[in-house]
Structure 1
Amino acid sequence: MSGRDLPDDPDVLRADIELTRQELGDTVEALVHKVDVPARVKENAHERVEQVKQRGQQVKEKATAVAGQAAGALPPPVRRHPAALVAGVVALLLVLWQLTRGRRA
């Protein structure tokens, strides 16, 4: 920089110096962040964990909504006695298991 490029006003010169310091500080901070690989990996992992938590919450809400709709579609006797539905499913599974065992023998 030649002497002709410097401002004559000391306040303008101080402001220019302060702006240059801030820019240099930002640049150094960015470079430090760029070379701090463990911190970047940790940040990335944290972001991924948060994404998984959010997705899990969305899936939970969707499953709850679907279960509510499915429960509403059940006949009234089954809604009043859900244990009977479970017992029926277990009995069906046992019958199917016995049938497949008999075919193997």
Structure 2
Amino acid sequence: MSKIIDITNKLAFEDNPRLKIKDTELEIDATAENMLKVMGLVSDRPTAKDVEELCKIIFTDDSKEKLSKMKLSFSDYQKVVMAAVELASGNDDADKNSGE
């Protein structure tokens, strides 16, 4: 008989993290599968194509719609996407930048 180890209580079944911009919350899809894709794209100098691909991966469909309606400049759009990546990867820099 094979050995079975239950690790359920070692796992964190948390809700997805969210970014807040004014009165709008953007939900981040921080599943392991998505984060592995994201980490493959993250670089010190992301291209416009990289930022767009990261956005497609990191945000839920509802959040992508909300983000699109904001009509942000590319610079602000890039900041939002990179803040989402930082938050989803467990880096607390997004909290520090929000003034909380």
TM range (shorter): under 0.3
**Bigger Rg, structure 1 or 2:** 1
Higher relative contact order, structure no. (Cα contacts within 8 Å, ≥ 6 residues apart): 2
- Higher fraction of strand: 2
